Structure 1
Amino acid sequence: MTDLDQRIASVLRERAEGEIDTHRLLRASRAQGRRRQLRRRAVTGGALALVGVLGFMGVAGTELPGLPGRLPWTAATPTVAPAVPPRVDGVAGAAQRPDLVGTDPAVLHLGVDTTKASYLGWAVKGFGVETVRIEVGGGQPVTVDVARTVEVFDGLGIEGFPIDAVPTRRAFDGTVRQVRGTTGGLIMSWQPAAGVYARAAMLGGDRAALARAVDALRWDEARRCGTPLRLGTLPTDATVGGCSVDVSAFPGTINAELTLYRGRSATMYVRLQYAAQMVGVRADGNRTVGSRPAYLYPDGGKLELLGIPKVHLVADFGWPAQGFTEADAATALAGARVADDLTRPESWD
């Protein structure tokens, strides 16, 4: 458990009254975790390790919590084409079918003109939001959130922004606003089509770069929320409600996550973390999933499937994501399939 998780747990135990919207709490917690990840990436570059709830930063020789030994690294990274989510033929984009936005955890109803911008990541979140992170040439990343209603933006944080600095609903009129509490942070909210609401945000104050990023968006196509991870079996009554991929350090590292829901509050994250420079395969587990070694972390809330070269594959069902069990995690991991070539996103489906 991270220090953030511990603080959340402590406050909730002290002040628990009535029902808690756990999905909203988890979104805020994970948003803060992603902000810490960005700060660490500026220091550590493309190296990868597991920190807390399996953060994505690290250095050579980092030990995996609870497991003996060290992770050696090599220096070479292959040269490959930039990562692009595969196109979905026969599915309308947001401009043609705004009612489809955020309804399918496997599909993004927008794309990016890759002659104008590069993908850094993409996601479909379990509360009706589709997201792309893009970069327009040496500038700050731009995060674009898309939804069918303005209400979805209430409490929806932005990676890298202070939570209390992000405005809730504003006029979606295309005005670019500077965000208090940031150094030049900009937000633009607009309607790219009837029934579609979009918000673009960047930490830097380059309005021209923000305009170029918005211009690179394509609303007449659909893209797969492609990940190198597929779950062949799910726990009883569970559904995949969210998909997230980070390719900001591609092809050196890839971070993917599938979010499983059961009912209104049970949540489990299945995370794949790939590092091209990592060598050696762990096989010293304390559990068995199917016929393969696995490791249950000391906190009892994370189960890792071992033996996959260059990959950590973990099901996180611990606090605050309660509602699933170790047996559920084992079921999800037993049917997990990892792409043969993680550097070819077109093959992930």
Structure 2
Amino acid sequence: MNLISASQIAKFVKGEIIGENFLVEGAIDLIPGKKSYISFLGNNLNDDYLNKTKSNLIVISNSIPIPNFDKTFIRVLDPKKSFFNIVDKYFHKRCYNSFNDDIHQTAIISKSTKIGSTVSIGPNTIISDDVEIEDDVKIGGNCFIGKGTRICKGSLIHPNTTIYNNILIKNNVVINSGTVIGAYGFGIIKDNNELIQVPHIGNVEIEENVIIGSGCTIDRATMSKTLIGKGTKIDGQVHIAHNVKIGKNCIIAGQVAIGGSSKLGDNVTLGGQVGVIDNLVIGNNCVVAAKSAVMKSLDDGSVVSGIPAINHLKKLRLDVFYSKLPELFKKNK
């Protein structure tokens, strides 16, 4: 394990180091902490946490005086941001690297596949015909990449991921384990009391810098494309149906389900277990609270909650009113 010095870390984040320089073994939460590990003191925490932590390298804000503790400090403008930049730079790969450094001998790769430089492909992964894998792409073990799919530079496909035919994954996308991209959607028509699944000949396009959590399903479009916009972050166990269009820099928490052909604008936040029915439009900068059911389209900047989802402040007022109903009934008996 390669160790990094406290002074090197301070230089990386352009911080001021105060105290002893020593080799750092890793990063850890402030409480309980660990000797020779780095932690950070959030702006909303006080010095009492420094009494309790075992960590002896602490990233703190340069807006507060140096505490009188036998520890080493790195002073920066934004402790949380700097700390996680440090973790990503020096410690991330130690605990979150599911990739080979090369192409595993058990991978099954079509002769028509185009592979860029410094690509890694894990054991038992299947790469179908006419796939294009650009530079610095990493694909874990037991994955399936369908015919005609293109995976662009720097993307990470974690183990046990299934990507169907003709999918476009742009630069620096991360797809976590167990996710399925491009399966048939739930497009059903009735014919003489028989349910028939309509053909889905579209695809899925995932733009740059998207992160998709574990166990997600993103269905292919019927004719055009299902789209995940640039910079969007999707938690685990999320379902995105056929023809959905998601804008840029959206946040979609776990167990959300978005019905077919609905459209989300940019900077939309959906809390955990939100349901969005099909064919809606959710405007830019909307926020939908957890466990809400969106049953109608939302204007830009809407903040909603509840089942069905309504204006959040109105929902809070109604909650207060409903809580007083038993008392009102007693008074009117």
TM-score by length of structure 1 reads: 0.24
TM-score normalised per structure 2: 0.25
